[in-house]
Amino acid sequence: MSNLTMAPGFRFRGVLTAVVDPITLQAVLHLKKGGDLEYDASAVLKVLHEAGIHEGFEPEAVLDSLRKFSLTKQTEKQEVVAQGQLPQPPVPETLEWSEGLVLPEELKSLAREVLKRTGPPVVYSSAKEQALVDPQPKILAFVEKGTVVAAVKPAKAGKPGRDLAGQTVPPPPLKIEEFYWGQSLVKKRSEVIAEASGFLRVGKNWAELLPFSLHRWEISYSEDKTGVRLAFFPGAPDALPVTAEQIFAQLTPGYPRERLMDGVLLDRWLDEAVQNREGFDRSLNKDRDGSFFIEVSPNRVTALLRLEKPLGNGRPLSLKDLGIALRQAGFKGFSFDTVKTAVNEFMAGSLTELPGLLLAEGKAPTRGSERQLDFKVEFLSPEEASPLLKALGLETAGISLAVVQKQQAVAVFETPSGQEGQPGLDVYGERIPPIPGNDPTVELLAGVQRSGDALEAVKDGLLVVEQVALVTRLHIREHRDGRVMVTRAPDNLEAFLSLTPPLATGRPLTREAINQALATYQVAYGLDEKAIQQAYELVMTGQTVNNVVVARGRPASTDIERRLKFLVPVRKDSHQRFVASVQAGEEVAEYSLPDSDQPDGVDVLGNVIPVMGDALTLKLSEYLKVEEKELGIQKIVAEKSGELSLDPPLLSLRHQIQIRNVDGRTGSVKFPGEVLVEGGVEQGLFVMAGAIKVKGQVVGALLSSDSNIQAAGVKGEGKALLRAKQHIAVGFAEKATFFAVGDLHVHKSLSFCRVMCNGKIWQKTPGGTLVGGLIKVKSGLVTNNLGTPTGVPTTVSFGQDYLVEAQITAEVKETDKLRNSIVKLDHLMTTLTSVADKEKLAQARKNKVLMLKLLEKRNMKLINLRDKFDLHCPSEIIIYETLYPGVSIESHGRLYEVKEKKTRVKIVFNENTGHIEDRPLDPEVTT
């Protein structure tokens, strides 16, 4: 502080008043101009001292402030002239949160879900009592386990101050505000550490870590960098999914993608690991066994070794097996040590494949002189060829003709003797024949193809060979003489005639040639001149006749098997009896009545067949009836479907079989009549019959009937299929498929089934229900309950012909196949550009025209079918008890979804409005 001599000449006229605040830490000087008082520097200081102000000011600064005030126009002013020293309060322990606490963008949505699910923070005071805090977080971040999330700064003691009188001012007491900690955060010395991975949220006076594990993985490589492994550690089930592409993207740049496994399979591994909460450590490479390939060139002049290292979980390359294979190869001049060194270098290197290591090398052969074309057919003489050439419109000079057959070798390329090339030596030290010389120029046109060194005919006809300059041109023209062929039955009781018409320039067939053929084959008895003449007239119109019966012998009167002619396909059973499957109303056989005057038989050769044994008369079982066809011949007709069998003299029809169980012991059952199963039908088996009745349960099996099916119950297991051309009746069914042309009757319930019914579905037992699955029914359904209280999805389509819908689906597939075939034909025609392809191109064009016509027919059929499917069929859905939410009802593309439970209701399709409507059921209508 300055003494009284400071600031000489200072004068201030006015009034000075010093005011000190109650805690003596601040003084204010009130200045007022005017009056009789005058202050010098000492007087100013005295005013301050008298007010108790001894510290906290600078005298010169106070005087300077007075000087400045005296120069202003203000008359009064207050100015702070002295400040004491405030005490410094103590500082409690504080937390400094790490700057790296961030929430990645991709985790923000997940964080919102986790916080919403968790609710307000759960934090505790030092007394382990749950505390209530402001739940709004100021910091939200994701941290890994072991992360230092905050630094703990220790508390600091306060410092005393001094007032204006120079007295000590003690610091205020420490005010402790407790910080509340939640789970998974631990304070160790000067750090706060996360004890788990998860979402950290920090509020005003609290912090909490919500444990949440993200999926983690580690990628490692084999020592030679050829293989790669993935160690995957699944996190929380709702953590962000990890995909194969994310894994592959983190591989070392340049790692060959073709070595990696299929990404779809890796995605499945990752999904399974997350679902099962089990990590894995597996190879990311495709599984490939280590292997070696010893490859000899096609000309056997070089031998190469190709090696592949194992990838993924493949077996290692066996050097022992390689050594054995190399020694057994028997290459001449092979150095095992040289190959061993190269193989060891490869195995120690980073390459996964060694494309070609030379093992042995031979000497290539040389080419011989030009070859010649040697014909192997007998050419027609000029006299024989002249009329044919004239008929074909060809010049006679330079053209040769020969009749050839399909696959006949017509010519061969051969090397002149003594003009072969030099032989070579292969890798085994064996001689390699010299290379054939160049072939003469040959132009192959329609009907001729090359097979090795031979030229072959691809069809029957007339070979035309034409020499044009240095080019030999070959093609086959259509040509075939009329042909006749006679065959006899093994028992010589029938003779058959086959006739083939002539083609193009071929010689026509004559009646004399037919008679001569019959005579050659000694057919003399029972000739049917009418049948022979009809066959001849038919072939003269250009049609082919195949195996027409032109002669019949007469079986002996005791030979029932030969007198009985089956009209249905027959086979022999284990007892060597003739058996056949027949349908009701089907003509099954014809029987020639024996002639009592001529008991002996005669075959078509005229040989007598003597009677052997006692006379036999054909007997028929029930369900077989006889109708007269013509004199001496009876027609036998089946009255029921079943199995026909001949055990002379009895021809019987069994229309029903009874089986205890259809299981592994009996196997599947196929029978044209009725099948009655006393027990059940096991999984994986089938019953195909005219009618089927199962008193037990059908478990995952197939039942197929030409009429009706009855079953006590069906446990489908998603595999059972019941199809009937008429009706089906079941006690109950679950997870099965039904196809019924008629009605489907359900006694109790139908659960989670697929149904296509072109009649009506009936379920009349009180309490019964139809639930789940997909039901398509033409005429509607009647049930007590539809759906369940739990809202199981149940879909019903009604009011349309769903067999027509199935036809539409099949037709669409066929039209798609036709379109694909036409596209392939178009592509083929663009490749058929040479002269030799002329015939193939014409055939391709012909096929395309046929396909286009067929496609047009199928498109018209599709239009008609779709029009037919659009027609409404009279139908209704009647529910006697309850219709539940979850049921969807469809008709003509309109959908009716049940939103609330309804009782006693009828569902119809209103053709006028085009909507599905529900109507209350008439009280008089009952089950």
Reply yes or no on whether the pLDDT at 783 is more than 90.
Answer: yes
pLDDT tens for residues 73-110?
A: 888 888 888 888 888 888 777 777 887 788 888 788 88
Model pLDDT, residue 686: 96
Reply yes or no on whether the pLDDT at 127 is more than 80.
Answer: no
Model pLDDT, residue 336: 80
Determine the residue type at 745: H
Model pLDDT, residue 389: 81
Across 767-792, average pLDDT? 95
Q: Which residues contact 792 (CB under 8 A, 6 or more apart)?
A: 771, 772, 886
List 462's β-bridge partners, or say none.
Answer: 403, 477
Mutual orientation of helices 41-50 and 59-70 as an angle, nearest 10°?
A: 110
Q: Which of 885, 897, 898, 891 is nearest to 913 (CA)?
A: 891
The verdict on whether omega for the bond into residue 649 sits within 30 degrees of 0, i.e. cis, is yes
How far apart are alpha carbons 654 and 453 in whole angstroms?
Answer: 62
pLDDT tier at 566, thresholds 50, 70, 90 = confident
Q: Are 701 and 685 in contact (CB under 8 A)?
A: yes
Higher-pLDDT residue of 517, 130: 517
Please identify which residue in the block is written with the tokens 């010589």.
492
Across 784-800, average pLDDT? 95
Q: What are phi and psi of 256, to 5 degrees?
A: -60, 120
pLDDT tens for residues 131-183?
A: 677 788 888 888 888 889 888 888 788 788 787 777 777 888 877 777 888 88
Model pLDDT, residue 2: 41
Helix, coil or strand: residue 499: strand
Higher-pLDDT residue of 622, 811: 811
pLDDT tier at 888, thresholds 50, 70, 90 = very high
Q: Which of 363, 361, 294 is nearest to 332 (CA)?
A: 361
Cβ-in-10-Å burial (0-12, 13-18, 19+) of 710 comes to: buried
Q: What is the number of other CB atoms lying within 10 angstroms of the CB of residue 764?
A: 14
Q: What are phi and psi of 190, to 5 degrees?
A: -100, 20
Determine the residue type at 385: A
Q: Where are the beta strands (DSSP E) in 76-134?
A: 76-83, 94-97, 123-124, 130-131
Model pLDDT, residue 4: 43
Q: Which of 583-597, 643-657, 764-778 has the highest mean pLDDT?
A: 764-778
Reply yes or no on whether the pLDDT at 215 is more than 80.
Answer: yes
Q: Which residues contact 75 (CB under 8 A, 6 or more apart)?
A: 32, 33, 34
DSSP class per residue in 18-48: EEE-TTSSEEEEEEEEEEEEEE-HHHHHHHH
How far apart are alpha carbons 299 and 779 in whole angstroms?
Answer: 74
Reply yes or no on whether the pLDDT at 610 is more than 80.
Answer: no
List 194's β-bridge partners, or say none.
Answer: 185
Q: Are 234 and 217 in contact (CB under 8 A)?
A: no
Model pLDDT, residue 606: 77
Model pLDDT, residue 396: 67
Model pLDDT, residue 3: 45
Q: Which two tokens stand for residue 130?
A: 């749950």
Establish how many alpha carbons lie within 13 A of residue 440's alpha carbon, considering only the half-sphere containing its beta carbon: 19
Q: Which two tokens stand for residue 280?
A: 């894995």
Q: Which two tokens stand for residue 874?
A: 């009279």
Q: What is the DSSP letter of 874?
A: P
Reply yes or no on whether the pLDDT at 431 is more than 90.
Answer: no
Q: Which two tokens stand for residue 758?
A: 């072109």
Q: Which of 153, 151, 140 is nearest to 193 (CA)?
A: 151
Q: Which two tokens stand for residue 347?
A: 């195995």
Determine the residue type at 762: W
How far apart are alpha carbons 787 and 882 in whole angstroms?
Answer: 8
70's enclosing H/E stretch is helix 59-70
Model pLDDT, residue 134: 79
- CA 782 to each of CA 744, 763, 905, 913: distance values in angstroms, whole numbers, following the listed order: 11, 6, 11, 24
How far apart are alpha carbons 161 and 168 in whole angstroms?
Answer: 6
pLDDT tens for residues 33-60?
A: 887 888 888 888 888 888 888 888 888 8
List 657's β-bridge partners, or say none.
Answer: 675
Reply yes or no on whether the pLDDT at 527 is more than 80.
Answer: yes
Helix, coil or strand: residue 253: coil
Model pLDDT, residue 1: 43
How far apart are alpha carbons 244 and 332 in whole angstroms?
Answer: 50
Model pLDDT, residue 693: 97
Q: Are 24 and 56 in contact (CB under 8 A)?
A: no
Q: Which two tokens stand for residue 197?
A: 């991975």
Q: Are 525 and 552 in contact (CB under 8 A)?
A: no
Helix, coil or strand: residue 872: coil
Looking at the chain, the number of H-run helices and the number of E-run strands are 13, 63
Model pLDDT, residue 696: 95
How far apart are alpha carbons 383 and 547 in whole angstroms?
Answer: 36
What is the Cα Rg of the chain in Å? Answer: 54
Q: What are phi and psi of 699, to 5 degrees?
A: -115, 105
Q: Which residues contact 756 (CB under 8 A, 6 or more apart)?
A: 738, 739, 740, 776, 802, 803, 806
Q: Which two tokens stand for residue 810?
A: 């099949």
Please identify which residue in the block is written with the tokens 């096991």.
682
Q: Are 804 and 868 in contact (CB under 8 A)?
A: yes
Q: Which residues contact 623 (CB under 8 A, 6 or more apart)?
A: 638, 639, 640, 642, 653, 655
Q: Are 556 and 612 in contact (CB under 8 A)?
A: yes
Q: Could you report how far apart the first and last alpha carbons of the chain are, in Å?
A: 119
Q: What is the number of other CB atoms lying within 10 angstroms of the CB of residue 546?
A: 11
How far apart are alpha carbons 257 and 60 in whole angstroms?
Answer: 85
Q: What is the DSSP letter of 597?
A: T
Q: What is the DSSP letter of 708?
A: -
Model pLDDT, residue 611: 65
Q: Which two tokens stand for residue 404?
A: 């050839």
pLDDT tier at 556, thresholds 50, 70, 90 = low
Q: What is the number of other CB atoms lying within 10 angstroms of the CB of residue 494?
A: 21
Q: Which of 410-419, 437-446, 581-590, 736-745 has the highest mean pLDDT?
A: 736-745
Please identify which residue in the block is written with the tokens 């529910």.
879
What is the DSSP pairing of strand 761-763 with strand 744-757? parallel
Q: Which of 443, 374, 448 is nearest to 406 (CA)?
A: 448
